[in-house]
Structure formats: structure tokens, C-alpha cells
A = this chain, B = another copy of it.
Amino acid sequence: MVNIAVLGYGTVGSGVVEVINTNGARINQRIGDELNVKYVLDLRDFPGDPIQDKVVHEFDTIVKDPDVQIVVEVMGGIEPAYTFVKRSLQAGKSVATSNKALVAKHGAELLSIARDHNINFLFEASVGGGIPIIRPLNSSMTADEIEEITGILNGTTNYMMSKMFYEGADYNAVLKEAQDNGFAERNPEADVEGYDACRKIAILSSLISGQQVDFEDIYTEGITKITSEDMMYAKEMGMTIKLLASSRRDGDHLHAIVAPHLLGRDHPLFNVNGVFNAIFVHGNVLGDAMFYGSGAGKLPTASAVVSDVVDEAKHLHRNIMTMWKSEKTELLPIEDTKKRYFVRIGGEADVMKAYLESKFGPIEVVEVEGLEGEFGFTTGVLSEGEYKRIAKEFPTIKGMIRIQE
């Protein structure tokens, strides 16, 4: 029998118990042993719930019980999750977590403790919910240099962007609707400002570079400035706007960014709509690949957590996860990133085009019927530093959106 303890009986924690109950026979067959939930740690009691007898309020009960081989951390947040996970690993118990904040901040250290104890620290559910991405990067794409990972990693903002694109809805109306439907929090900052996506791309960046990428170092811009007019321009160009979290290799360094981007119809991420997530990966020999699925939700997230538990149960005394080192990967300054830009500007295109081209180089003008006194244009490839330097000379610029190639 393999005994596990679940830390936190919220949405994901109860999902983990539900998945194990639903698919237990099949899971046991895959492990070759019986998986048993021995404890559930929560401050609350759950009278009447089938797990009521397993509820404990003291973490010590779990960490001191030598029968517990795997700890599932689904509490979220840094503390007490960090302390509990660290103590579990130090006690020789493998840990599976869905906690992106914890992995982004302390992943290198926790992976290293797991390796020293010949156990595992796995976190498939921390990025992309139910989508298998951490394990494929760790054990499938091992013949490649991963040159780019670009993801739609936040379901809330993707739901909002999709609504704005397909229904022409306004940002505030869409946010309110998302809140009413339970897709967005009352305080939506973590989603709409890009903080959630930023932690996830920090984890993926650390994995592909083999060194720590601090989320604080990643340039992060949310979707709060995207308007229905921006979507009209996007449609006119046959493109859409998505909040992308992206990491590109440039020699030994990485360019990493979280920001809204314009995407063309041919990009595999173009059609990822609603609350779905997807992760595009480019390998130097594999070429393009994409992984798509439910980026959040009780059961999809629990499915990923339990797949980690299965892997840990099959490898109780064998470390299987690639480490990343605690030394930091140097991120290149955002000013050095080269892209094309879409710019909205007040004025008349035929009057201003020649002067704009004298500064930006060749541009393509985009005009939308019904939008008076302004127009849009796309630039050629420029570094972001160059763009900003030139843009300063044009006080009527209303906004800029980067173009993803």
C-alpha cells in the first residue's frame, strides 16, 4: 500500500480525492500497488464527508508518520506550503504540488532536496492545469534544444480576450461577466495584470534553461489596456489578440515576456479560445508542437496532480525529474527584444504616413471603418528600445501591441 496525505481540502484537494475514488482501480493497476489517502490536512472539519475520519489539523501528524510516502500540496500560496513541502521532502516523502507560486519561487531548492533524498518533487499541475507539459518537457523532448515556449497560460484572460474578439464586447463588461460566471476573481489583478501567467512562464523558462528564472525579472504587461477598438483593428488585419507568456532562447540567454500580442491565423495558438490553455513549443529538430487542454478547473488540475502521484508511487526511491540550478539565468532586457509592432495613432494616415516612415521605416497602414480621427499601422522588425525611442516623438500614439510571428 502507498499512503498519501493531502494538504488542503479545497477545490483541487477534494478533486484529488475524487479522482482517486473514481479511477482507483485503474490507478492501482498502473502503480502495481494500492493507493490510499491516509490523511487530509485542513483547518476545518468535514462532518458527513467520506474523508471526515482522515482529517487532521496538525501537519506534524503527517510528517512524523513513516507510513506516509507521498504528500500532495494543494493549499496554494507560499506559506505554510513552503515549510510543509520542505519538511516533507526532508523527511523522505515525495511531494506533488499544483502550487505555481511555490514552484516559481522555491523550485530549484525543492528539486535539489528531492534529489538529495532520492525522492521526487513533481508539479505538472502548476502550469497549464491538466495539460501534460512539464513531463513532456522533462522526458519527451529530450532530443531537442527548446528554442521557444509560448503559452496561453491563463484561462480567465483568454476567456475575456475571446469574448472581446468574437462578440466585440468592452473590457469592463467582459470582466464583469467573467466575475459573474466565476471565471474571474472579485479582485482580478493576478489574472488581468499577467501575474499568474508570469509565474507559469518563469517555471517553464527555468526548466528549459536549466537555471532559475525569477518571475520578478520577467517583463509583464496585462490586458487592462486592451480595448474593443484594438480588437477591431486586429480583425481588420485577420489577426487576434491574446495574452501570451513567452520565452525564447538567444544564445545562452533568454528573452521572456508576458504581454498581449497580435497573432495571425496561421499560428497554432490563434484558435485557442475560452478558458482553454495551450502551450506552443519550438524545438531545433522537432520543429513546432503544441499542447492544448483545460488550464484550470477542479478535475483537470486534480488529474495532473494524481498523474504526478502515480509517477512518484512508481518511483518511490528513484529521482526522475530534471533539476534546474539555483543560479539565475540572465534575461535579456526587454529593450533588446526584436519584434514588429502595431501602433494606434491619432491623425490622418495620408498626411502622416511619409513622416512616420521617415522615422519607423516602411509601415503598413490599417484603417477601420467607423474609427475616425485615428488609424493604425504595423512597423517592420525593430528592437523594443528603438521603437520606444522613436515613439516618443509622436505624442498622438494611443497604444502599441506587439506582433507574435
In the bound complex, do residue A285 and residue B303 qualify as a contact, i.e. CB atoms below 8 Å apart? yes
Q: Are A307 and B140 also in contact (CB < 8 A) when A23-B284, A145-B23, A293-B287 are?
A: yes
A322 partner residues in chain B, CB cutoff 8 A: 30
Number of copies of this protein chain within its complex: 2
A136 partner residues in chain B, CB cutoff 8 A: 132, 135-136, 140
CB within 8 A of A143: which of B23, B139, B289?
Answer: B23
Whether a CB of chain B sits under 8 angstroms from the CB of A306 is yes
- Which of A19, A27, A293, A306: most chain B Cβ within 10 A? A293
Q: Are A285 and B302 also in contact (CB < 8 A) when A136-B136, A307-B140, A311-B142 are?
A: yes
- Count, chain A residues at interface, CB 8 A: 48
Whether a CB of chain B sits under 8 angstroms from the CB of A78 is no
In the bound complex, do residue A286 and residue B310 qualify as a contact, i.e. CB atoms below 8 Å apart? no
Whether a CB of chain B sits under 8 angstroms from the CB of A271 is yes
Instruction: Return A190 CB to nearest CB of chain B, in Å.
Output: 23
> Once the chains are docked, how many angstroms separate the CA of A19 from the CA of B30?
33
> Once the chains are docked, how many angstroms separate the CA of A243 from the CA of B396?
51
Instruction: Return A227 CB to nearest CB of chain B, in Å.
Output: 26
CB within 8 A of A286: which of B142, B289, B294?
Answer: B294
Instruction: Return A143 CB to nearest CB of chain B, in Å.
Output: 3
In the bound complex, do residue B19 and residue A143 qualify as a contact, i.e. CB atoms below 8 Å apart? yes
Give the residue name and chain of the B residue nearest to A311 (CB).
Answer: B139
Chain A 139-170: CB-based contact to B (< 8 A → 1; otherwise 0) = 11111110000000000000000000000000
A304 partner residues in chain B, CB cutoff 8 A: 143, 286
Give the residue name and chain of the B residue nearest to A309 (CB).
Answer: B143
Whether a CB of chain B sits under 8 angstroms from the CB of A193 is no
Whether a CB of chain B sits under 8 angstroms from the CB of A26 is yes
In the bound complex, do residue B291 and residue A291 qualify as a contact, i.e. CB atoms below 8 Å apart? yes
Whether a CB of chain B sits under 8 angstroms from the CB of A300 is yes
Whether a CB of chain B sits under 8 angstroms from the CB of A130 is yes
Whether a CB of chain B sits under 8 angstroms from the CB of A124 is yes
Whether a CB of chain B sits under 8 angstroms from the CB of A103 is no
Whether a CB of chain B sits under 8 angstroms from the CB of A283 is yes
Chain A 243-272: CB-based contact to B (< 8 A → 1; otherwise 0) = 000000000000000000000000010110
In the bound complex, do residue B271 and residue A300 qualify as a contact, i.e. CB atoms below 8 Å apart? no
> Once the chains are docked, how many angstroms separate the CA of A290 from the CA of B49?
35
Interface residues of A (CB under 8 A from B): 18-19, 22-23, 26-27, 30, 124, 130-132, 135-136, 139-145, 268, 270-271, 283-294, 297, 299-300, 302-307, 309-311, 322
